[in-house]
Amino acid sequence: MNAQHGDVGILGLGTATPRGRLSQEDAAHFAVKRCARNEQESRWLLRRYGQSGVSRRHVAVLDADSSSQENAQEAFIRFYPEPGSSEANSGPSTEARMRLYERSAPALAAEACREAIETAGVEADSITHLITVSCTGAVSPGLGERLIPQLGLSATVGRASLGFMGCHGGFNAVQVARKLIEADARACCLICCAELCSLHFQYGWDPQAIVANALFGDGASSMVIGTAQPVGSMRIVHGASRLIAGSGDAMTWRIGDHGFRMTLSPEVPKLIETHLRVWVEKELSSRGLSIDDVEQWLSHPGGPAILEAVERSLKLKPEVHAISRQVLDDHGNMSSATLGFLLERGGVGKKLTVALGFGPGLVAELLVLHGG
């Protein structure tokens, strides 16, 4: 039995964040002591943190029981001590960072999944496929195998893991789930994106790494996707991807000896501004739609410059990204998990919504959603 086109929808959403929370002011203070070598670099770093669009973020590195600012500072310093006299001091090893990922990510993922299952109104053992997404940690048995007993999923649930994709991983997971359900309307998919970006704070003077340090936070989001109900679900109308030719070095994510390292070229906003509009118009036109028909835009807040590039390319007013900017302000960029936060805060109702995401490749992703 095949699902008819347009019958697939998001039935439930869930989000979770670590209890530890860090203000951007404190984050900048910590970064100065670990990255800047002189007063000029300190001033540049403080400006970048101040212009990031982030006011606060949840951070797994912080002690979950920290109730005071003093305790939070101590927890951060324990994991990320100030560098000594040796220039080779680059912070914790990748192994140490992955140990913390293994301790923290599964519980955070399970919290988001439980909420999604509850809001969808489905039984855990009715889920046929589990799709996990993460680019900030790797361990085996992975998130999927750990979530099965925690959530009471069937021991025979199908599993897929999308790893190391970056900020657009959640979009790809939705597309995988959609295809599974279009092939079999009885399928019910649980997606979980769990990202602990704070584990990859980079020491030293590297402007691109400092911009990433200023933007990223931790969180998990989950979706239950199945055959859409007449009311109460977000119908997935269309999904598409576009690789921008010649942009492979514009955004990268590589494993290093001291965490994973991101490069984020200043050319990224220009590439988005140049290439986005024609592609979006083509994809919307394939569904008989235009940019003017879209009632809500939920663009992944990779940073203020990314949102501004989308606005310039599509000729949108800044206020259309109010929700994207709110999520960035409250949580920072949580990589693949951010999509769930955008959808939860934006809702869909009866609105025609377009979600946009961008990640290494450089790849743009698009989802068209409509209320049930």
Q: How far is CA 242 from the centre of its chain?
A: 18
Angle at 292 between CA 287 and CA 293, to 5 degrees: 45
> Given 35, 135, 167, 192, which residue is catalytic?
167
Residue 243 neighbours by CB distance under 10 Å: 11
Q: Which residues contact 313 (CB under 8 A, 6 or more apart)?
A: 272, 273, 274, 275, 276, 277
Does 167 qualify as catalytic in the annotation?
A: yes
Sequence-ordered strand ranges (E) for the chain: 8-16, 21-23, 56-58, 129-134, 158-163, 189-196, 218-227, 234-243, 251-256, 259-264, 296-299, 352-359, 363-371
Distance from C-alpha of 369 to C-alpha of 372, rounded to nearest angstrom: 9
Residue 272 neighbours by CB distance under 10 Å: 27
Nearest to 228 by CA among 10, 12, 5, 2: 10
Nearest to 16 by CA among 96, 127, 117: 117
Instruction: Report in angstroms the alpha-carbon separations of 92 from 135, 219, 284, 333.
Output: 18, 21, 46, 22
Distance from C-alpha of 297 to C-alpha of 346, rounded to nearest angstrom: 9
- The HSE-up count of residue 138 (CA atoms within 13 Å, CB side) is 12
At CB < 8 A and 24+ separation, what contacts does 153-158 make?
153/124, 153/125, 153/127, 153/190, 154/125, 154/127, 154/128, 157/127, 157/128, 157/129, 157/130, 158/128, 158/129, 158/130
Active-site residue list: 167
